[in-house]
Amino acid sequence: MGQSHALSGAAAWLASVPLLTHEPLLGSYAVSLTPAQIAGGAVVCAGAAMLPDIDHHKGTISNTLGPITRVLTKAVAKASGGHRQATHSILFAVAMGIASELLATHFVYGWWVLLFLIVALGLRGAGIDFKVRGREVYAETLDALLAAGVVFLLHGVDMRFVGYAVFLGCIAHVAGDCLTPRGCPVFWPVKKRIGVPLIPRTDGKVERWVIAPLLTLAIVVLSLRSALGDRATDWLT
């Protein structure tokens, strides 16, 4: 479900930070990330972990931005062959990562538009949205304003890592769906589905009471590790 996907994206990003910043291993390819960049990466990766479900016009994200996302999800579903088809693959993750990097590097206003969508999807997936019964238009407008506020906060953050964060978020989503009985066509356009059904059903007891709490705990621990560095490692061990 959306919450698990968003949490998995944030956890995947935070887990990758020690690797990205490990100079002895990566040498000149290692990056130095500020706390703001680490937080920004977690937001982007959490939102990107919702992107593969852009092919589901009845899913969590289809009503995120009202008619905009409803039309978008229907169009993507038609072009990709339906839910859990092309968008649930490594190829889609790579394409979205490259597209994000190119936009952020060469067409920054296009990147802000994509970032707005990513943030809106991430907030909706995580359940951080407005619910106004019988007033969906008001709720969707408030959700859009909330997403715009988060994008504004990220405006001054150097996000040269966006391609990797978006790619990682999409991969986290695909990996999560591969844990369900239906699996995913990971190597699309090869249509063979890959799955290890450790989660019997989506939105079931395993996901609600095992997966989601474990992901939340991982985010807390990894956030402490990123914030406190070696002191957190000494305390945890």
- At 191 the three-state DSSP class reads coil
Rounded-to-integer distance, Cα 138 and Cα 136, Å: 5
Q: Is residue 223 part of a domain?
A: no
- Note the pLDDT of residue 77: 92
Q: Is residue 8 part of a domain?
A: yes
Domain limits at 71? 2-216
More confident residue, 58 or 34: 34
Rounded-to-integer distance, Cα 107 and Cα 109, Å: 6
Q: Is residue 183 part of a domain?
A: yes
Q: Is residue 222 part of a domain?
A: no
Q: Is residue 18 part of a domain?
A: yes
Q: Is residue 153 part of a domain?
A: yes
Domains identified in the chain, total number: 1
H-helix segments, the chain: 2-20, 23-26, 35-48, 67-80, 90-106, 108-126, 136-154, 162-177, 205-206, 212-228, 230-236
Q: pLDDT, tens digit, for every residue of 198-219?
A: 888 887 888 889 899 999 999 9
Q: pLDDT, tens digit, for every residue of 129-182?
A: 777 666 677 778 888 899 999 999 998 888 888 999 999 999 999 999 999 999
Q: pLDDT, tens digit, for every residue of 74-128?
A: 999 999 998 899 999 999 999 999 999 999 999 999 999 999 999 999 998 888 8
pLDDT at 234 over 60: no
Cβ neighbours of 192 (radius 10 Å): 9
Rounded-to-integer distance, Cα 220 and Cα 225, Å: 9
More confident residue, 57 or 40: 40
- Note the pLDDT of residue 208: 87
Q: Is residue 232 part of a domain?
A: no
Q: Is residue 148 part of a domain?
A: yes
